[in-house]
Structure 1
Amino acid sequence: MIIKCVDSYGTLVKIPERELRGADLSGLELHRALLQNADLQGSLAVDANMRGAFLQWANLADANFSGANLITADVWHAHCRGASFSGAKMRGVVAEHASFVRADLSGADVCGGTFKNANFVDAICDFSEYDESDFEGAIFSEDTKFPPGFDPIAHGFTLVTDRSS
């Protein structure tokens, strides 16, 4: 499969799916991109427009989505371990069952996002905005960082103390 998108200069860019791992997608126009099950591990997508992108079951481990537009993106069951979403626009994102272990969501706007049963163990969850987000059943650890005044239990999170499983 070939991913076709446009760069910031309006030039058509073609990226073979097998070359997405570690690819530089920064600033690209990936609105509603079909990237289910894609391997984007270690990729750079800084300031990329991935609004409404389909990233279900994708491997996003160690990828950098800093400042990216992920509004209404579907990252259901995505593997986001160690990924950076710092300053990302994630309003309305669907991230049920996603793993954000050791991910950086500092400054991310997650208003209206669905994070049911997501894993935030050891993550930096210092969100800029989080009104109307659903964290029911999401898990966190004592090392997970939240915004000042944010009560994870009141927002539906469950504290995990045994991380052996």
Structure 2
Amino acid sequence: MRAAKFTGFRGRCAFMRDCDLEDADLSQAYLYRSILTGDPPQSMALDRANLEGSNLVQAYLAAGMTGSNLEAARVAYIRMNQSSLRDANLSGISPFQASFVKVDFSGATVTTFEPPFFADRCPGLQAALKGGPPREPESYLAELSSLMRRGRAGST
């Protein structure tokens, strides 16, 4: 489904696994509680996909999303664990209670991240947050990381 046109797609609770949606247009899509994943996660290809303005509330995304556009997407309670958001546009999103574990944020554009959200082992996230609004997300992450280090004994 490479470069598919799914503008305004109504996919509440949709389940997509190991699909090639590179360059797909999913702008304004309703993907509430949807699951877009691969095994391994990068086999769900959403590279350069347009998810601008989409509803991803409570969705689970484990995918390659390098260069994707998530500008102004609604992402409260989203789980994006093991995704690649390299060079992605995350402007205008507010990941309230979101989870990012092993997510690559290298080169991503972040403008509005506000706590609370969970992030662990996310290369590039600290650098992406530096250009944004006040230091609140940075200090929140530093405190969270400090707490996790104290309780971590071996592998998670």
Shorter chain as denominator, the TM-score bin is: 0.7 to 0.9
**Could you tell me whether the CA contact under 8 Å between 1:64 and 1:85 is conserved in 2?**
yes
Could you state the TM-score of these two structures normalised by the residue count of structure 2?
0.75
- C-alpha distance in 2, partners of 1:30/1:130? 27
- Structure 2: which 5+ residue stretches go unaligned? 39-43
- Consecutive aligned runs of 4 or more in structure 1 exceeding 3 Å deviation: 5-8, 16-19, 133-136
Is 1:30 the equivalent of 2:26? Answer: yes
- After TM superposition, list the pairs within 5 Å mapping 1:1-150 onto structure 2: 7=3, 20-42=16-38, 43-61=44-62, 63-111=63-111, 113-124=112-123, 125=125, 126-127=127-128, 130-132=131-133, 135-136=136-137
- Structure 1: which 5+ residue stretches go unaligned? 137-151
Shift in Å at residue 105 of structure 1? Answer: 0.6
Q: Which has the higher helix share?
A: 2
Shift in Å at residue 116 of structure 1? Answer: 1.5
Across the aligned residues of Structure 1 and Structure 2, the Cα RMSD in angstroms comes to: 3.1
Could you state the TM-score of these two structures normalised by the residue count of structure 1?
0.71
Identity of aligned residues (%): 24
Give the letter for the 2:27 counterpart: H
- C-alpha distance in 1, partners of 2:103/2:68? 15
Give the letter for the 1:105 counterpart: F
**Could you tell me whether the CA contact under 8 Å between 2:6 and 2:27 is conserved in 1?**
no
- C-alpha distance in 2, partners of 1:133/1:22? 38
